[in-house]
Structure 1
Amino acid sequence: MSNSSLLKTAVLAGSLLFGTAGATVGEEADARKILGSMTEYVSSLDALSFDFEEYHEIVTTDGERLGLAASGSVALVRPDKIRVLRRTGYTDTDLAFDGQTLSLTDSDAGLFARHALPGTLDHLIDTLRDDFAKPLPAADLLTGGGHGGLTAPTAEIKDLGVGVVSGMLCDHLALRGEEADWQIWVAQGDTPYPCMFIITSRNIPLAPQYRIEVHKWQAGPVEADFAPEKPAAATEVALADYLKGARNLPPNFIVEVEK
């Protein structure tokens, strides 16, 4: 038997022996306690910042699962200020909100938009998701889980033990909702921040995933301009025109519209 066959046999044997992790009542209580500690900690912070690596999978019409990678940073001051920088390789975007006005810049497309939107961060997150179908990256991490399902009722929750993310010891939790599976790695210790977060969409063929890995987590004062000026090279447009012209996919991707 070749080394390749041995490897395939070992992988198959491992998959047969590794069943779904069960959860006793005590284990579920521990998992919910860990999740609660994370949400309480993140929600209690007046200001925070972090860098992130993002990986977003899409499924093509011929059944191929592809991943799009991005990097970015977040600076947040409660209750109503945030700035999110995101770089994808095909576009650089900048979202800023100062409690009164949402400012958006797409430097590659040369677009800039201002939109009056007085309110809190929660209002901003809800409006972007519900009115414009533009979920804010890492919204669940920013609010402690209240906007995407982490704190919603789930069919089950499991404590999968300890994992390591970027050298940080983390408690690994798995949650199952009606349409998606969630995994989250929560830093152990006095600062239980989310180190990594994965959503698996079960109702989409091939179950694509969305993942964010957090780096350089910082609780405390942040330095950021939450009301940036329009870049000299950008054209100011209405928010609807900005969203229409902003690139969500690389330029060589073709979006097919269902008829």
Structure 2
Amino acid sequence: MRRSSLFAAIALLSCTTAAPVMAEGQADVPPSAAVAAAAKVQPEALAALDRMAKYLRSLKSFGLRADTTLDLVTEDDQKLQFPGTIDYKVRVPNGLRIDMKTDRKERQLFYDGKTLTVYGPKNKLYAQTDAPPTIAKLLAVAEDKYGIELPLADLFLWGTDKAPVSALKSAVFVGPARIDGSVTDQYAFRQDGVDWQLWIEAGDKPLPRRLVITTTDDPTQPQFASTLTWNTNAAVRDADFAFTPPKDAGRIKLVEVDVVAVEDAK
């Protein structure tokens, strides 16, 4: 889990509750007590993360909807929560489309292996730039060069050297739970500045079904939460990833972050 995932959602965007599932004969132990009594880093928690990551890396195409809530904190420390949705269409290694909506913002992102386009349907403005040939390289270029951190980018990074488990300070199994009727296993992880929880579907398709990120080095501890609905048999077409600007759309420049930093310093 990269810490930037939370801030990616904030930058680009501006739940379903997990109901505990008790196995027959299982003691009714509060989850918090179970976690407190657990070892700091449990091998089974790391193994579950690895199994999920390998399954994600095996997917060649998929559709995904994320129902999200995002905490924003006012200057007087009042916490506000904003709901939204993120729809993904993915074709590995070079097709990506993201549609993001809240009550206040809409953003679309298109990537076809050659060009990255960011479009605002409400203001009908878009920006384009040449892009590297794979999604993995796109993530790095978008963030490092343009300051664009894709929401839920960890879906593409788990199981790679970009998301090392060595960063984890704690990794524990919390217990079974249901997400939208599916049986999952809930895990809690901790690293510098961030606590995050992950609900992984049980069975032979260990998909992440819910993610909660808490920023712990902010005294207000804002959270980003997302419930994930997967379609691993989604049909994708080349047209899904290509952007054709509407006739009344205007093009703007995608500014590099070092240029922004220089302007801010003036």
Flag whether TM exceeds 0.5 (same fold): yes
Q: Distance in 2 between matches of 1:172 and 1:121?
A: 28
Q: Distance in 2 between matches of 1:147 and 1:69?
A: 32
Structure 2 counterpart of 1:92: 106
> Aligned pair 1:128/2:123, yes or no?
no
CA distances 1:162-186 after superposition (whole Å, capped 9, x unpaired): 1111111111111100110110000
Q: Distance in 2 between matches of 1:208 and 1:19?
A: 24
**SS of equivalent to 2:167:** coil
Query: Are residues 199 and 32 of structure 1, via their aligned partners in 2, closer, same or farther at CA, if it must alter by over 3 Å?
Result: same
Query: Are residues 139 and 66 of structure 1, via their aligned partners in 2, closer, same or farther at CA, if it must alter by over 3 Å?
Result: same
CA distances 1:59-84 after superposition (whole Å, capped 9, x unpaired): 11101111121112101111121000
Q: Cα distance, 1:237 vs. partner?
A: 1.3
1:73 corresponds to which letter in structure 2?
D
Identify which of 198, 201, 204 aligns with 2:218: 204
Q: Scaled by the length of structure 1, what TM-score is found?
A: 0.79
Query: Which of 1 and 2 has greater Rg?
Result: 1
Identify which of 46, 49, 57 aligns with 1:43: 57
* Larger mean Cα displacement after TM superposition, 30-39 or 215-224: 215-224
Unmatched tracts of structure 2, length 5 or more: 1-28, 257-263
> Aligned pair 1:139/2:116, yes or no?
no
Q: How many residues align?
A: 227
Percent identical pairs in the alignment equals: 26
Unmatched tracts of structure 1, length 5 or more: 1-13, 242-256
Query: Are residues 151 and 80 of structure 1, via their aligned partners in 2, closer, same or farther at CA, if it must alter by over 3 Å?
Result: farther
> Aligned pair 1:74/2:100, yes or no?
no
Query: Are residues 150 and 137 of structure 1, via their aligned partners in 2, closer, same or farther at CA, if it must alter by over 3 Å?
Result: farther
Identify which of 251, 254, 265 aligns with 1:236: 251
Matches for 1:115-194 after TM superposition, within 5 Å:
115-144=129-158, 146=160, 149=163, 151-194=165-208
Where relative contact order (Cα < 8 A, 6+ residues apart) is larger, the structure is: 2
Cα RMSD, aligned residues only? 2.6
CA contact (8 A) 1:96 1:226 kept: yes
